Amino acid sequence: MNSSPKDVADARTEDRYVAQTTLEGTFGSSEVAIVDIGEHGAQMRHPVPIKLGAIARLTFSVPTETRQVRAQGTVVWSKLATKADASGKRDFFSGLRLDDSDGVIKEAIERLVSTNALRPDRNSLEKKKRMLAEKEKARQHGGVKFIGQRMRIPDDVILLVRQTRARLADNPAESVKWYNRAKFSLDQSGVQIHAREDVLAIWEYLERSVEIDIISRIIEET
């Protein structure tokens, strides 16, 4: 995949903004609260589990405004909180890949930042770079365990990767964007990962929640 200067600029890993107040909303029929959000992704908290790979509309409101913000999202990772809250309950946390083709999320973020309902998570990008570099270093020294060829990959992960591959195959420009985003971030981190371009695009689209080796294996076995 060839990249122009514009592609490279667009491929820079985006900032995230952390909620400073309760931002309640819905994802499909599920009640959720936004933990952090960026133009193309969000983390949400919810009391009941949501299936990995689920596609639905994320809806929330900007405080002091009656207009609702809506964007299509795909669940790319989900987990149960490791610790209970003050009431003894353990919520679920899920990551969404958002489609903000009409710019509504970007506009909502700007309004939420202006009212101090969101603040930039200035440490997130540096943390991500450090974690990626440390992970690659451990990988080179045999410190990372990989799923062996005989170990079974969960069906929901297989389905998620296949759905993402089909989506990006139907949208070549989007696939180029996610590949460039991954490549730019890796170059900035000084990390070299040798993988197919479509694999890197899927990896980045899924917020790196699925290991590159697993994505490669799923594609090879499809």
| 10-residue mean pLDDT series, the chain (222 residues) | 37 74 95 94 94 93 88 92 83 92 92 93 65 56 46 85 90 91 78 83 88 90 79
Residue 147 has a pLDDT of 45
Q: Is residue 155 within 8 Å of 211, Cβ to Cβ?
A: no
What span, in angstroms and rounded, lies between the C-alpha atoms of 214 and 160? 12
Per-residue pLDDT at 118:
95
Domain closes at, from 64, 90, 120: 120
Do 104 and 43 lie in one domain? The reply is yes
Angstrom distance (rounded) from CA 166 to CA 160: 10
**195, 161: one domain:** yes
Residue 11 within any structural domain of the chain: no
Distance of CA 87 to the CA centre of its chain: 29
Q: Say if 108 falls within a structural domain.
A: yes
- Helices and strands, counts by H and E, the chain: 7, 8
- The answer on 155 and 96 residing in a single domain is no
Q: Are residues 167 and 210 in the same domain?
A: yes
Spell 111-149 as b/e; 16+ CB within 10 A means b. Answer: bbeeeebbeeeeebbeeebeebeebbeebeeeeeeeeee
Number of domains comprising the chain:
2
For position 143, what pLDDT does the model report?
A: 41
Pairing of strands 92-99, 68-80: antiparallel
Closest by CA position to 97, among listed 208, 216, 211, 214: 208
- CATH number at 77 reads 2.40.10.220
The model's pTM: 0.66
Domain of residue 68: give its range.
17-120
Task: Report the pLDDT value the prediction gives residue 63, as an integer from 0 to 100.
Answer: 85
Among the candidates 120, 137, 166, a domain finishes at: 120
Are 137 and 211 contained in the same domain?
A: yes
